[in-house]
Amino acid sequence: MRRVYALILIIGMAATAAAQQRLASVTPLPTKVEFSDTPATLDVERGLRLYIEGAAEESERLARAADATGIALKRVNRPAKERYLNLRVTDSAEQGAEGYTLDVTERGVTITASTPAGIFYGLQSLRQMNDGEVECCTITDAPRFAYRGILIDISRHFRTKEFLMRQIDMMAQLKMNRLHLHLTDAAGWRIEVDSYPRLTSYAAWRTPSTWKEWWYGERQHVEEGTPGAYGGYLTKAEARELVEYAADRYITIIPEIELPGHSDEVLAAYPELKCTNNPKFQGDLCIGKEATFEMMQSILDEIIEIFPSEYIHIGGDEASKESWKLCSDCQRRMQEEGLESVDELQSYMIHRIEEYLNARGRQIIGWDEILQGGLAPNATVMSWRGEEGGIAAAEAGHDAIMSPHGYCYIDAPQDAPYSQPESIGGYLPLEQVYSYDPAPESMDEATRRHILGVQANLWAEFIVTDEHYEHMLWPRAIAIAEIGWTPQQRREYSDFRRRTLRIVEQMQQAGYTPFDLKNEIGNRPETLTPIDHLALGKSVTYNYPSRYYAPKYAAAGDATLTDGLRGGWTYADKRWQGFLGRGGVDVTIDMGEVTPIRSISADFMQICGPGVYMPCMVEIAVSNDGEQWQPLACIEHEIVVDELPSFKSFGWEGETSARYIRYVGHRSKYSGFLFVDEIVVH
């Protein structure tokens, strides 16, 4: 009898484990899942009866979301006792504005929430659980962060309404709730504005078609209808349709109208708003001219009529500010307003625009540069250059959205760069994105309260086609979705990757073109195992201040070049050390004593896009006393400017003995960085 009982127990445990494994497909991972002692499933093949309670105004929207679960549903006017799907919006729900409870029994499914949004998210979990049958369980779930977003850049290369709708569909399944549309930038204005029609009849069109050819060429815009013109824009009707489509999926579209920088296309269409010194390539609006404010306010009036979002993104990043220093109008404005710097001049503009939007019931978001010169009183900061801007804003009592370059800029390759389409450069695999925590325990509680959430940014300079854009976006945006939703202590990469493989396969079957995760190559092989060599841990002297490594790319500091760690596909992985001084790399390794040496080498990388080049010459010499040097090698190298990242070892082989090794890498005629990871001595 005991053996029978043990067998039943084992079978029960196995069934429970199987049920948990099937349920583990839900992404983002729910906060809490409870199973009954006796594993069971609800057969949904024959359909369920749908009853919606307490959401009269949004019942049709929720009914459409329920239909999308793939379960055949019959709408009824009262709760059924068997084979039911009951959706209940009730004040008694305790999971917050977007939380829900999903209860599955052998009789039916009940989803309870305090808002229709919570019901919608519960339906997304049910949709993922549906495999003809649904595991009986109770899910109690709510998002970690209120803001879970993606930026889609439609300025550099235009994307249609239909393309955006496809991405909204995927975002909704992953419980994301903010789509940040980058509508304006130098390469093209992408939203219809009645009051300034040349923004779309002229500034939305260019030749040639690719951003790269345009940016490195004459940067000309052309009239709509010009033979060969490339571009496009969303009409107001299309934008409103997008807003409604997203709202049906509980996603808010946040429009971005860039100012004062990244405004080349505006000045091309309306050159009277340029600064008085009028440089050839001018991207900053003239803040001294009152007509600039009249234009921006008129544009924003039309934008807020289309987009009901509480937030309007006003950019604020990467303004060069150089033309303001020479512009008589800007200088007059600074004198009249008592401004001491061009940073304060930018802050003046941000303040004025914020006041204008606040008076119309809207709030501004800007990139972290809006901190410069003083932050506008009610502004929210989107931190992209790192986390520092977001933390500074939060510590000052402002809300912040984390979007740091090292984790959230998914325009970098996600696999070995040689295997990927052309991109901005670098390397940002899914695992690194997933490792990000926007509000770690090390951050004090008062600061954490102001971290609204997280956003992935996908800039489109090098992304010409829709297929390429989806390849870059998914599955890394899935990681952002789970970071934004799932409690930090519940997240674990190997489990997430397993679930993501399934989602990628489903996306491919649905016609999306995500990165094929199952065939991921991974990081540069040299990174996988520390290298043991004669110079490991030896002291390194950097010979001249002008050749010292750049603080931003210090890696492990003075220990970097002999710490045994090789660099990966990107110079930003804190293993490559970057040199920007005039002379390049010039270091001396002290071996501690005269040592027999057979080889000396070091790897360099080249990624021309961000200005990373190979050395034009490498010199290697040795010495026993540090004064008299014996040259071993002088290796000349011709720099070839190309598109793909490349790696090359520069070294010497032979027989010698020495205490000191001097390794010099000379910069070429191209201004930019040299990056080296380890000087290997055998």
Cα separation, 588 vs 586, whole angstroms: 7
Closest by CA position to 261, among listed 248, 243, 275:
275
Using only C-alpha atoms, the chain has a radius of gyration, in whole angstroms, of 29
Amino acid at residue number 570: T
Is the CB of residue 201 less than 8 Å from the CB of residue 232? no
CB contact set of 476 (below 8 Å; sequence gap of 6+): 410, 414, 428, 430, 433, 456, 515
Strand ranges in 547-584 using DSSP code E only, listed in sequence order = 577-579
Is the CB of residue 473 less than 8 Å from the CB of residue 503? no
DSSP 8-state symbol, 140: E
Backbone angles phi, psi at 260, to 5 degrees: -85, -15
For residue 556, what are the β-bridge partners?
A: none
Cα separation, 423 vs 569, whole angstroms: 13
Closest by CA position to 248, among listed 436, 51, 67, 390:
67
Is the CB of residue 673 less than 8 Å from the CB of residue 552? no
Helix (H, G, I), strand (E, B) or coil at 668: coil
Cα separation, 458 vs 472, whole angstroms: 8
Query: Residues 346-382, buried b or exposed e (16+ Cβ, 10 A)?
Result: bbbbbbebbebbeeeebbbbbbbbbbbbebbeebbbb
Full 3-state SS string of 28-45: CCCCEEEECCCCCEEECC
Backbone angles phi, psi at 596, to 5 degrees: -65, 135
Amino acid at residue number 680: V
Helix (H, G, I), strand (E, B) or coil at 679: strand
Cα separation, 269 vs 167, whole angstroms: 31
Catalytic residues: 185, 262, 318
HSE-CB for 337 with a 13 A CA cutoff:
20
Helix (H, G, I), strand (E, B) or coil at 615: coil
Is the CB of residue 113 less than 8 Å from the CB of residue 89? yes
Is the CB of residue 644 less than 8 Å from the CB of residue 599? no
Structure tokens at 256: 């971005």
CB contact set of 529 (below 8 Å; sequence gap of 6+): none
Structure tokens at 661: 């090794």
